[in-house]
Chains A and B, each alone.
Chain A
Amino acid sequence: DAGVTQSPTHLIKTRGQHVTLRCSPISGHKSVSWYQQVLGQGPQFIFQYYEKEERGRGNFPDRFSARQFPNYSSELNVNALLLGDSALYLCASSATQGTFRSETQYFGPGTRLLVL
């Protein structure tokens, strides 16, 4: 079975530009979460989506937005890129049986974004 897939694998942008990252969850999984991992740190929670609705949001500015599609895939959008947005962006999916806290999340390989 295919795991969580993310595209692109690497991306280089300049300050002020906009970027869209994509994620396809494991087949049958209905929840997608996004994390930002800055070099040398642990991942930080950005968003969780379940059944196309935002379920949770981390402490990130409004420049960050996301959405989930009917097939449960997801996009993360970042506007007005800053140098500090350079990071590995991880997507995770979970099956979700209603108890979100206990769900096991399966992570994709990530998209490495470099902002120049």
Chain B
Amino acid sequence: AQSVTQPDIHITVSEGASLELRCNYSYGATPYLFWYVQSPGQGLQLLLKYFSGDTLVQGIKGFEAEFKRSQSSFNLRKPSVHWSDAAEYFCAVVPGYSSASKIIFGSGTRLSIRP
């Protein structure tokens, strides 16, 4: 079955430390990949997306993600987190076979920042 897995439910990092949030997907073909962030009480904001080409994608707010086909992964990274990065992060895909913008989301990783 098609799925997006975010194995870490909750992660806490110190302010200024590096961050990596994991994401794995299960599709036969290359999907369209996204990372969204959701602050408390807010809608979803797109951080970055991967469709094709360079497997290292730069996004907003200093985030980047790397697509690794061999590992079916699309992990999100940031070299130095800020307290304002505390939020829920969702990895998402649009299957390559989809005829609609049907985004399939993972269950999310909640990021807490330790002062």
Interface residue ranges, A against B (CB under 8 Å):
4, 31, 33, 35, 40-45, 48, 55-56, 58, 90, 92, 94, 96, 100-110
Report yes or no: A48 in contact with B102, Cβ–Cβ below 8 A: yes
Q: A101 near B96 (CB under 8 angstroms)?
A: yes
B60 interfacial by beta-carbon distance below 8 Å: no
Contact check, B101 vs A33: say whether CB atoms are below 8 A apart: yes
Q: Counting CB contacts under 8 A, is B105 at the interface?
A: yes
Q: How would you classify the secondary structure of chain B's contact residues: helix, strand, loop or mixed?
A: loop
A42 contacts B106, C-beta separation under 8 Å: yes
Q: How large is the interface on B (under 10, 10 to 19, 20 to 34, 35 or more residues)?
A: 20 to 34
- Give complex CA distance A41, B38 in Å: 12
Task: Check A56 against B105 for contact (C-beta < 8 Å).
Answer: no
Secondary structure of the A contact surface, majority rule:
mixed
User: Which residues does chain A contribute within 8 Å of B101, judged by CB atoms?
Assistant: 31, 33, 48, 55-56, 92, 94, 96, 100-101, 103, 105
Given contacts A41-B108, A56-B98, A100-B98, contact A105 B103 (CB under 8 A): yes
B43 and A4 form a contact (CB under 8 A): yes
* 8 A-B pairs whose Cβ atoms sit less than 8 Å apart in the complex: A40-B107, A42-B106, A43-B44, A43-B105, A44-B105, A45-B103, A101-B99, A110-B43
Chain B residues with CB under 8 Å of A48's CB are: 100-102
Find chain B residues with CB under 8 A from A106 CB: 46
Write out the residue numbers on chain B whose beta carbons fall within 8 Å of the beta carbon of A104: 46, 49
B90: Cβ under 8 A from any A Cβ = yes
CB contact list, B41-62 vs A, under 8 A: 41-46, 49, 51
State whether the Cβ of B94 lies closer than 8 Å to any Cβ in chain A. Answer: yes
List B residues 18-48 near A (Cβ within 8 Å).
Answer: 32, 36, 41-46
Cα of A103 to Cα of B101 in the assembled complex, Å: 7
- Complex formed: what's the CA distance from A42 to B59 in Å? 21
Separation of A41 and B107 alpha carbons in the complex (Å)? 5
User: Are B108 and A109 in touch, CB under 8 angstroms?
Assistant: no
